[in-house]
Amino acid sequence: MAENAQPKTVIIGCGISGISAAHRLFQAGFHNVRILEATARSGGRIKTAKLGNTITEIGATYIHGPSEENPVFCLSRDFGLLDPEALTEENQAKAVEERPPLVPNWFSSSGQRPIAEHMIPAVEMYDELMEDLQRIKNGEETPWTSVGDFVRSESLVFVQLPQRAAERWKDKDETTRELLMCAISTLLKLECCDSAAHSMDDLDLVGFNFFKNLAGLDCTVHSGMEALIESLMSELPRDLVSYNHPVRCVHWNNAGSGEHVVTVECEGGERIAADHVIVTIPLGYLKKHHSTLFCPPLPVHKLHSLQKVGFGTCNKIFVEFDSPWWDPDCEVIYLLWTGEYDPSEQVSDIGKSWMRKIVGFTVHQPSERNSHVLCGWIAGHEAEYMETLSEEEVRCAVTELVRSFTRNLTITPRRIVRTQWFHDPWTCGSYSHPAVGCTAQDLENMMEPLPSKGTQPLQVLFAGEATHPCHYSTVHGALLTGWREADRLISHYSSV
């Protein structure tokens, strides 16, 4: 195809989805491509930083399901970005259902330090609960709408010791039973982090099973996930991306207006004519700005689906200590709040209680002597509130939290770094989930191009993690959707 005869494609967003779409198009010989990026950097919700000499992932952290089915794993492997243990056949064959078997330490707000083996009954019961959830495939099978409804009504009646627990734990003393119930509450909070949801009440019961896991034990890119972005960008033309170019409006269906049917209007006033636009903007931004971002507006059915797919916040708080207060082999720290059985209960003063939503910490390997870093996880409205505080206020709150749980008043964090995805104007949150009322058809509608019919189809295409029907919220889901939309265009031109 001659260069001047090629269709002109504009990609909005230079995250992994936009980059992968451009990469695919270039490989197929489509070179009339331009990426518009609102910020000054590539990567989107992939962002690597450092706390001291410790690599911290401000954005995406894990390659979920690192196996041959996962393109992010395969690309990272081919670029030489993975540690040897991640490449072993044993690692790739493990099926962990998004819950890697980490060595835990448990700490209680009452000052107790439960032995990890004593918490196993709670973990086993929680795993059974997840298995019960996975059996629900359609709404006709259950009278409940949300995961929270199911948890309270069917499996875990929080106002009293549940029947299942009463039978299973009848040989336990009252203190142990209480700790086990608190442990289940903590694990439910962890599930909220995995889904970027405020509570399990926000997750559709049937939709909870739309997500598909890939085999493999979660791993990380040893030099940071941004290294993958840099490697992919190195294979594209240097002038492909226009940075600091926010898009004001995508004018589509401009029949009879000239050679091109789409015009991308930028905030700075530039107007770019195109045959196709691939929109990879995060769902949080689309929810907030769709009414002005598309002209004509999105079709009603697509707009309804955009509103029904959930998009929430999961934040991280990286904390550096001079010395560890956890065991040498510990990989994850869980916090148990005594007396808390239902984490979805409403709180009257989020300003005083936001720390209760911190589910615990994952442990980073020491990068240097006397530098020990933990990553705290928090989701929902409390995560959004945390963003409004100063870094010093967050550091003081974490100090108080750790001292309270360890009963060690000498522990003092050296410094912290926290993420603020909800208040990032270009993301407005972290990642997507099937909210209550979301159906499989809504996820299909998210990826539907505009217009779907007519003499000039595929004017506006949609990619990004929220447009994948079963790998949403993941890096590989975002990448796959970029390939999908590029392939849609490639297939279109191969058949005309």
Q: How many CA atoms lie within 13 A of 184 on its CB side?
A: 27
Tokens 């991280």 belong to residue: 316
What pLDDT score was predicted for residue 218? 92
| Buried/exposed code over 446-460 (b: 16+ C-beta within 10 A; e: otherwise) | bbbbbbeeeeeebbb
Over residues 274-297, the pLDDT tens digits come to 999 999 999 999 999 999 999 999
Please indicate, yes or no, if residue 119 is contained in any of the structural domains.
yes
* Residue 69 is assigned to a structural domain of this protein: no
- The answer to whether 91 touches 100, Cβ cutoff 8 Å, is no
pLDDT at res. 164: 59
What is the reported pLDDT for 94?
82
Q: What is the pLDDT of residue 131?
A: 87
CATH number at residue 229: 3.50.50.60
| Model pLDDT for residues 114-141, shown as the tens digit of each residue | 999 999 999 998 888 888 888 888 777 7
* Chain CA centroid to CA 153, Å: 28
Three-state SS for 433?
strand
Question: Does residue 430 belong to any structural domain of this protein?
Answer: no
Considering the domain architecture, whether residues 230 and 159 belong to the same structural domain is answered as: no
Cα–Cα distance measured from residue 122 to residue 444, given in angstroms and rounded to the nearest whole number? 37
What pLDDT sits at residue 4? 52
Place of tokens 């003063």: 349
How do residues 224-246 score in pLDDT, each as one tens digit? 999 999 999 999 999 999 999 99
104-108, strands of its sheet edge to edge: 104-108, 332-336, 360-363, 372-379, 314-321, 415-418
Of 5-19, 114-128, 336-350, least confident by mean pLDDT is 336-350
323 and 208 in one domain? yes
In this structure, of 3-12, 15-24, 289-298, the range with the lowest mean pLDDT score is: 3-12
Position 175 confidence tier, pLDDT thresholds 50, 70, 90 = confident
**29, amino acid identity:** G
Through-space distance between the first and last CA atoms of the chain, rounded to whole angstroms = 13
Task: Identify whether residues 122 and 259 lie together within a single domain.
Answer: no
Task: Give me the pLDDT at residue 496, please.
Answer: 65
Residue 111 sits in a domain whose CATH number is: 3.90.660.10
User: What is the rounded average pLDDT of the residues 66-93?
Assistant: 94
Statement to judge: residues 186 and 319 lie in one domain: yes
354 and 206 co-located in one domain:
yes
Split into its structural domains, the chain has a count of 2
Question: What share of the chain in percent tops pLDDT 70?
Answer: 92
pLDDT at 173: 81
- CA–CA dist 474, 66 (Å, integer): 12
Q: What per-residue confidence (pLDDT) applies to 195?
A: 97
Which range, 333-347, 353-367, 416-430, is most confident?
Answer: 416-430
Which pLDDT does position 373 carry in this prediction?
96
User: Exposed, middle or buried, 280 (CB in 10 Å: 0-12/13-18/19+)?
Assistant: buried
> Are 346 and 412 spatial neighbours (Cβ–Cβ below 8 Å)?
no
State the pLDDT at residue 159. 37
Closest CA to 141 of 129, 130, 132: 132
Co-location of 143 and 271 in the same domain? no
Q: Is residue 285 part of a domain?
A: yes
Length of the chain, in residues: 496
Task: Please count the other Cβ atoms lying within 10 Å of the Cβ belonging to residue 328.
Answer: 7
pLDDT at 183 over 80: yes
Examine the fold and report which residue of 384, 418, 452 is the final residue of a domain before the chain moves on.
Answer: 418
- Taking only the tens place, the pLDDT of each residue in 419-476 is 999 999 999 999 999 999 999 999 999 999 999 777 789 999 999 999 999 999 999 9
Mean pLDDT for the stretch of residues 297-311:
97
In a domain, 487, yes or no: yes
The pLDDT confidence band at residue 161, using thresholds 50, 70 and 90, is very low
For residue 112, the model assigns a pLDDT of 87
pLDDT of residue 81: 97
Q: Is residue 267 domain-shared with residue 297, that is, in the same domain?
A: yes
**Do 321 and 281 sit in the same domain of this protein?**
no
Provide, rounded to the nearest whole percent, the portion of the chain with pLDDT above 90: 77
CB contact at 8 A, 18 and 240: no
> Does a structural domain hold residue 381?
yes
pLDDT at residue 333 in the model: 98
- Structural domain boundaries, residue 324: 104-212+314-418
Q: Looking at residue 96, what is its pLDDT? A: 67
Of 339 and 182, more confident: 182
Domain-located, residue 146: yes
**pLDDT for 5:** 65
Compare 330 and 168 and report the one with higher pLDDT: 330
pLDDT of 158 strictly over 60: no
Whether 417 and 392 have beta carbons less than 8 Å apart is answered as: no
Query: Among the three residues 355, 384, 418, which one is the final residue of a domain in this structure?
Result: 418
pLDDT at 344: 65
pLDDT value, residue 435: 98
- pLDDT of residue 249 exceeding 80, the answer is yes
Classify 388 as helix, strand or coil. helix
Looking at residue 154, its pLDDT comes to 53
What would the mean pLDDT of 45-70 be, rounded to a whole number?
A: 95
pLDDT tens digits, residue range 184-194?
A: 999 999 999 99
376 and 244: one domain?
no
Same domain flag for 202 and 225: no
Determine the pLDDT at residue 168. 74
User: pLDDT tens across 469-491, in order?
Assistant: 999 999 999 999 999 999 999 99
Work out the number of other CB atoms within 10 angstroms of the CB of residue 489.
22
* Domain-embedded: residue 279: yes
pLDDT at residue 486, rounded to an integer? 98
Which of 386, 418, 450 is the endpoint of a domain?
A: 418
The answer to whether residues 284 and 324 belong to one domain is no
Residues 471 and 340 in one domain: no
Provide the phi-psi class of 320: left if phi over 0, else alpha when psi is between -120 and 50, else beta. Answer: beta
Stretch 100-104: mean pLDDT, rounded? 83
